[in-house]
């Protein structure tokens, strides 16, 4: 009888612990956001990708790098500034204008010196800092991660990043934040060194969309999702074509089977 009671008490304690853990996980689980590009037939919202690029360019790029992104990628097939008139992204005037707005170090010249020039579509996106030490010194010791593959690198993907960008709140009374830290319930431990990057109206969208924190977070995460998987739409289209091909092939194989065996008694 005593062993039965002990066993029952242990089960109850385990259940309470599991329930508490579940509640804690639910409290910090990423928001389940609906994305236009989700699902086997989902595609990128081109306007959202363009707005997201504007948010990245005006807000995020001051601290974060995108080492794997080149200016010409913005005008490639499926990119935010794809143009049927300019299939070669190196000739895309929008891409050329964006690239020319940055100064890129090049060289050496004939005298052996490095020099600065206007950016070209073939150039990589310029990093905001020369090295990691400079980046840490400018951000209170924290190192801003590269954003090229950030959606794939974080558990929860787009939902997590959206939740993080919209999850800054006042810290609870029992929290202990160090100077330069902020409270975000979706960040592990709650304390994050990145100040809230999005403030309502911090950008002015060219298409007139209201720049709320939620809208900017959705747009920039959509852009970062594209940056990490720029060929997603082409891959999905190929997958659909392969499935259609296999379906037709299966029908032909079945009809051939019936034709070959129609006069054979079983």
List the domain range (segments joined by +) for residue 263.
232-266
Looking at the structure, tell me whether residues 59 and 35 fall in a common domain.
Answer: yes
CATH of the domain at 58: 1.10.760.10
Distance between CA 72 and CA 88 in Å, rounded? 9
Whether residue 266 lies inside any domain: the answer is: yes
Looking at the structure, tell me whether residues 133 and 253 fall in a common domain.
Answer: no
pTM greater than 0.85: no
Looking at the structure, tell me whether residues 181 and 219 fall in a common domain.
Answer: yes
Looking at the structure, tell me whether residues 40 and 159 fall in a common domain.
Answer: yes
Looking at the structure, tell me whether residues 236 and 226 fall in a common domain.
Answer: no
Whether residue 214 lies inside any domain: the answer is: yes
Least confident interval from 3-17, 81-95, 138-152: 3-17
Whether residue 19 lies inside any domain: the answer is: no
Whether residue 91 lies inside any domain: the answer is: no
Looking at the structure, tell me whether residues 53 and 160 fall in a common domain.
Answer: yes
For residue 182, name the pLDDT band (cuts at 50, 70, 90): very high
Phi–psi pair at 104, nearest 5 degrees:
-115, 135
Whether residue 238 lies inside any domain: the answer is: yes
Handedness of CA 72, 76, 81, 82 (dihedral sign): positive
Looking at the structure, tell me whether residues 161 and 211 fall in a common domain.
Answer: yes
The predicted pLDDT at position 19 comes to 36
Residue 14 in this model has a pLDDT that exceeds 50: no
Whether residue 249 lies inside any domain: the answer is: yes
Q: How many domains does the chain have?
A: 2
Looking at the structure, tell me whether residues 147 and 49 fall in a common domain.
Answer: yes
Looking at the structure, tell me whether residues 134 and 212 fall in a common domain.
Answer: yes
Bridge partner list, 116: 105
Whether residue 18 lies inside any domain: the answer is: no
pLDDT tens column, 154-165 = 999 999 999 999
Looking at the structure, tell me whether residues 140 and 214 fall in a common domain.
Answer: yes
Distance between CA 197 and CA 111 in Å, rounded? 43
Looking at the structure, tell me whether residues 188 and 260 fall in a common domain.
Answer: no
Whether residue 43 lies inside any domain: the answer is: yes
% of the chain beyond a pLDDT of 70: 89
- The alpha carbon of residue 148 and the mean position of all alpha carbons in its chain are separated, in whole angstroms, by 8
Looking at the structure, tell me whether residues 236 and 225 fall in a common domain.
Answer: no
For residue 26, name the pLDDT band (cuts at 50, 70, 90): very low
Distance between CA 214 and CA 163 in Å, rounded? 9
């Amino acid at each position: 009888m005593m062993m039965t009671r002990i066993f029952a008490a242990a089960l109850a304690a385990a259940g309470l612990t599991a329930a508490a853990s579940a509640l804690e996980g639910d409290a910090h689980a990423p928001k389940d956001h609906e994305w236009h590009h989700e699902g086997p037939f989902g595609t990128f919202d081109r306007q959202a990708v363009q707005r997201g690029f504007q948010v990245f360019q005006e807000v995020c790029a001051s601290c974060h790098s995108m080492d794997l992104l080149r200016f010409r990628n913005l005008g490639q097939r499926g990119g935010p500034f794809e143009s049927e008139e300019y299939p070669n992204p190196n000739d895309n005037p929008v891409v050329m204008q964006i690239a020319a707005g940055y100064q890129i170090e090049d060289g050496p010249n004939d005298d052996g010196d490095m020099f600065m020039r206007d950016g070209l579509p073939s150039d990589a996106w310029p990093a905001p800092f020369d090295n990691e030490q400079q980046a840490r010194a400018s951000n209170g010791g924290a190192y801003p991660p590269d954003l090229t593959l950030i959606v794939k690198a974080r558990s929860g993907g787009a939902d997590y990043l959206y939740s993080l960008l919209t999850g800054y709140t006042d810290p609870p009374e029992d929290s202990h934040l160090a100077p330069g830290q902020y409270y975000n319930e979706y960040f592990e431990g709650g304390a994050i060194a990145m100040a809230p990057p999005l403030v309502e109206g911090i950008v002015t969208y060219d298409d007139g969309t209201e720049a709320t924190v939620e809208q900017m977070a959705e747009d920039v995460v959509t852009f970062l999702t594209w940056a990490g998987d720029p060929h997603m739409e082409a891959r999905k289209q190929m997958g659909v074509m392969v499935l259609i091909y296999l379906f037709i092939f299966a029908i032909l194989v079945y009809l051939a089977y019936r034709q070959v065996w129609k006069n054979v008694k079983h």
